[in-house]
């Protein structure tokens, strides 16, 4: 099942990929901290990982905290920005945020397709 702790970004992102119709496929169980998702062998063996966003993909960063952060891409916008949904952004557990990633930052993330 879901490897994330309830209320955390990993829990929400794993749940979203398992349940949302825009998802690009259920992620494997047993994933650890968000900072490692894009390089975990159970992910890289089944999913394309790159720096190009796609609706339904996971965005992943190792920045921000020791644990890293993940969320999901819900829109690619005409101005080059992307819209994402994420949980526990700004250390607010159990809160889902919708955020816009600026076009000049989009390529800084890994995307798990």
Residue 27, both tokens: 């992620």
Decide: 70 and 50 in contact? Cβ < 8 Å.
Answer: no
Task: Give the pLDDT of residue 13.
Answer: 97
What span, in angstroms and rounded, lies between the C-alpha atoms of 59 and 86?
9
Task: Give the pLDDT of residue 64.
Answer: 64
Mean pLDDT (10-residue bins), the chain, 113 residues: 92 97 94 94 96 98 83 98 95 94 97 98
Task: Give the pLDDT of residue 101.
Answer: 97
Residue the block writes with tokens 């829109």: 75
Instruction: Identify any residues that bridge with 34 across adjacent strands, giving them in sequence order.
Output: none
68: left (phi over 0), alpha (psi -120 to 50) or beta: left
Sign of the Cα pseudo-torsion (27, 8, 21, 107, in order): negative
Task: Give the pLDDT of residue 63.
Answer: 73
């Amino acid at each position: 099942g879901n490897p994330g702790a309830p209320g955390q970004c990993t829990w929400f992102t794993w749940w979203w990929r398992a349940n949302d119709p825009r998802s690009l496929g259920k992620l494997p169980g047993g994933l650890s901290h968000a900072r490692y998702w894009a390089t975990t062998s159970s992910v890289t063996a089944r999913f394309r990982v790159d720096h190009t966003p796609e609706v339904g993909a996971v965005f992943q960063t190792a920045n921000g905290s020791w644990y890293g952060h993940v969320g999901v891409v819900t829109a690619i916008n005409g101005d080059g920005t992307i819209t994402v949904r994420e949980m526990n952004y700004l250390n607010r557990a159990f809160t889902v945020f919708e955020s816009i990633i600026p076009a000049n930052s989009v390529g800084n993330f890994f995307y798990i397709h």
